[in-house]
Amino acid sequence: MIRHGSLRLRLFILILTPLVLLAILLGYWRYTVAQQTAQELFDDSLLSAGLAISRDVAVSEGDALSPTTRSLIRDASGGEIFYHVTGPGGIYVTGYAYPPATAKPSEQDIYQPHFFEAVYRSEPVRVLKMTERVALGNLAGDATVTAWQRLADRNNFANELSIRAAILMGILLATLAVVVWFGVARGLRPLLDLQDAIDIRSPDDLSQIKRPVPVEVHGIVRTLNRLFGQVEHSINAHQVFISEAAHQLRNPAAAVQSMAEALRDAKTDDDRAKRIVELVAAAKNSATVADQLLSLERLRQPTHQDQMEKIDFRLVVEEACAEMGVHILAKGIDFEVSMPGSAIMASGDQVFLTEAIKNLLDNSVKHGGTQLSRISVTLRCDGGHVKLTVADDGTGLSPDQSEAAFSRFSQLEYSQGSGLGLSIVSAVAERHRGTVAINQVEKGASITLELPIVL
């Protein structure tokens, strides 16, 4: 439940965090727009009041303001409006005695309404000053109306609008948070149920998940089932490999033990010398099987990029043939090597490639039979590939025997081999994106290892 709650909380935070940030940005934008809009509306209201005062002064010749104008001034949305009116020649007509003055006289048309900010009785105010041509009694000239409002009243009104919008946005955000919290819980329920179903399984249970799940989870279930199948196949392959390896190592180990006991019980020096030779051969055979088993296991592991390097495959073949040639010639078998004089570059693991070549040669020696008299190695380029062919005149090997020949621990007939040599060659070829195949020949055996060339 702790894991479930933690996952639910993380998803909740992940979803809600950008929404909160967006709400903050929208709130700031809404506050800015509200201030700007309020400023425009209040200026329009101040202008309407100024026009109404100017009209009443002209109609009443400066005597009084109409009740409608007084109501407009008193109930203005931006707060109380103060005013001051002067007639032709600057004579005082009505209103407050001392209006606020602008710090910098405007150079614009005096008959255009002019807005500015000033200080009136230690308070910042927004001022409208407008001038019109009027006739008051016997006087005719310019009448100036100055009207102003406290900025504090305006700001309070704009802040009130912003606070109302913020409260509304907060309520919507809180509602959204509740919906997201329970929505995440409901959306995660199938995954959490699936997690519980997998959690109660035993380590040996790799069977497919068959419980009903929503359509959105079908892809996850298919992937898990495919993964379970791959893991089960890998485990079974390892178990089979371990079983076969134990079986193959049992015989060499028993042979070494038997030879050691025979050496201990030898009665003559000749018999003891003979047993020592047999013991050394059995120990070598046991070590060879162990090395081949380790090679197969290493070939099962994924290929790392640092293991693959650009190498001269011709030099790899030359070194492997030089090492194996000593043993082949010591057995009285003719050994021929034919290869180009120039370098042949390939990408691969030099250790595995050398082992594959040695196994091809060792396969000819161990499975060639009594009639084996010649082994040849031919290296040639064919298009974008390099082909290495190992041929002998021993016991025949045909392409239809490929499956048995390249299988692990498989031998077409009894020999001193372990049945792992050609299996290792096949694994090396696959690891290097190449192929290995048995060629159709009239006599003996011929196997070709083909690898791509790197330019």
| Type and span of the H or E element at 198 | helix 151-199
For helices 218-264 and 151-199, give the axis angle rounded to 10 degrees. Answer: 40
pLDDT at 169: 80
Helix or strand or coil: residue 176? helix
Q: Is residue 134 within 8 Å of 58, Cβ to Cβ?
A: yes
pLDDT at 435: 92
Helix or strand or coil: residue 191? helix
Among 449, 431, 321, smallest CA distance to 385 is for 449
- For the stretch 306-331, pLDDT in tens is 567 889 999 999 998 998 898 889 88
Q: Is residue 180 within 8 Å of 15, Cβ to Cβ?
A: yes
pLDDT at 2: 42
pLDDT at 446: 92
Distance CA 41, CA 48 (A): 10
What Å distances lie between residue 145 and 51, 85, 141, 280, CA to CA?
Answer: 8, 5, 13, 124
Among 337, 291, 287, 290, smallest CA distance to 316 is for 337
What Å distances lie between residue 329 and 337, 360, 374, 433, 445, CA to CA?
Answer: 13, 16, 10, 33, 19
Polymer length in residues for the chain? 455
Q: Is residue 445 within 8 Å of 364, Cβ to Cβ?
A: yes
User: What DSSP state is assigned to residue 453?
Assistant: P
Q: Extract the residue ranges of the chain whose pLDDT is less than 70.
A: 1-8, 60-65, 72-79, 103-109, 135-139, 187-188, 214, 216, 237-253, 255, 282, 285-307, 408-419
pLDDT at 1: 41
Distance CA 394, CA 364 (A): 8
Distance CA 238, CA 449 (A): 27
What is the pTM assigned to this prediction? 0.46
Please name the residue that has the structure tokens 């047993």.
Answer: 275
Tokens of 184: 């995440």
Among 43, 153, 148, 44, smallest CA distance to 96 is for 148
Residue 135: strand pairing partners = 140
Q: Output b/e per residue, 119-138; b: 16+ Cβ within 10 A.
A: ebeeeebbbbbbbbebebee
pLDDT at 408: 64
What Å distances lie between residue 47 and 22, 132, 136, CA to CA?
Answer: 37, 13, 22
Helix or strand or coil: residue 58? helix
Q: What is the CA radius of gyration of the chain?
A: 50
Q: Is residue 374 within 8 Å of 329, Cβ to Cβ?
A: no
- For the stretch 162-184, pLDDT in tens is 788 788 888 888 888 888 777 77
Task: Give the helix ranges, DSSP H, for 200-312.
Answer: 218-264, 269-300
